Amino acid sequence: MKTIGVICAMESEFECIRQTYSHGTVKNIGLMSFYVAQQGEKQVVASVCGIGKVNAAACAQMMISVFGAECLINSGVAGALSKELHIMDIVAATDVVYHDLEARLLEGDYFPHCAHFPTDPKLSGLVEEICREQGVPCLCGRIASGEQFVTDSRLKEAIIAGTQAISVEMEGAAIGHVCYLNQIPFTVVRCMSDGADDNGAMDFDTFVGKAAQRCAGITLELIARM
Is residue 97 a contact residue for ligand ADE (CB under 6 A)?
A: no
E strand or H helix at 80, and its extent? strand 71-80
Task: Give me the 157-196 binding string for ligand ADE, x by CB under 6 A, dash otherwise.
Answer: -----------xxx----------------------xx-x
Q: Find the catalytic residue in 89, 95, 171, 194.
A: 194
User: Which of left, alpha, beta for 48 (phi over 0: left; psi -120 to 50: alpha)?
Assistant: beta
Footprint on residues 5-64 left by ligand ADE (CB under 6 A): none
Residue 203 known to be catalytic: no
Q: Find the catalytic residue in 13, 95, 171, 197.
A: 13
Cβ closest to ligand ADE, residue 5 vs residue 172:
172
Residue 194 known to be catalytic: yes
User: Which of left, alpha, beta for 177 (phi over 0: left; psi -120 to 50: alpha)?
Assistant: alpha
Task: In angstroms, give the least distance from the CB of 90 to ligand ADE.
Answer: 13
Is residue 78 a contact residue for ligand ADE (CB under 6 A)?
A: yes
In whole angstroms, what is the distance from residue 15 CA to residue 213 CA? 8
Is residue 200 a contact residue for ligand ADE (CB under 6 A)?
A: yes
Cβ closest to ligand ADE, residue 7 vs residue 64:
7
Task: In angstroms, give the least distance from the CB of 169 to ligand ADE.
Answer: 4
In whole angstroms, what is the distance from residue 148 CA to residue 164 CA? 17
* R_g (Cα) of the chain, nearest Å: 16
Task: Give the three-class secondary structure for 20.
Answer: helix
Residue selected from 5, 50, 79, 176 as contacting ligand ADE according to rule CB under 6 A: 79
Q: Is 35 in contact with 21 (CB distance < 8 Å)?
A: yes
Cβ closest to ligand ADE, residue 29 vs residue 88:
88
Preceding omega of 137 cis (within 30 degrees of 0): no
CA angle 190, 193, 194 (to 5 degrees): 120
Which of the residues are catalytic? 13, 194
Footprint of ligand ADE (CB under 6 A): 77-79, 149-151, 168-170, 193-194, 196, 200, 204
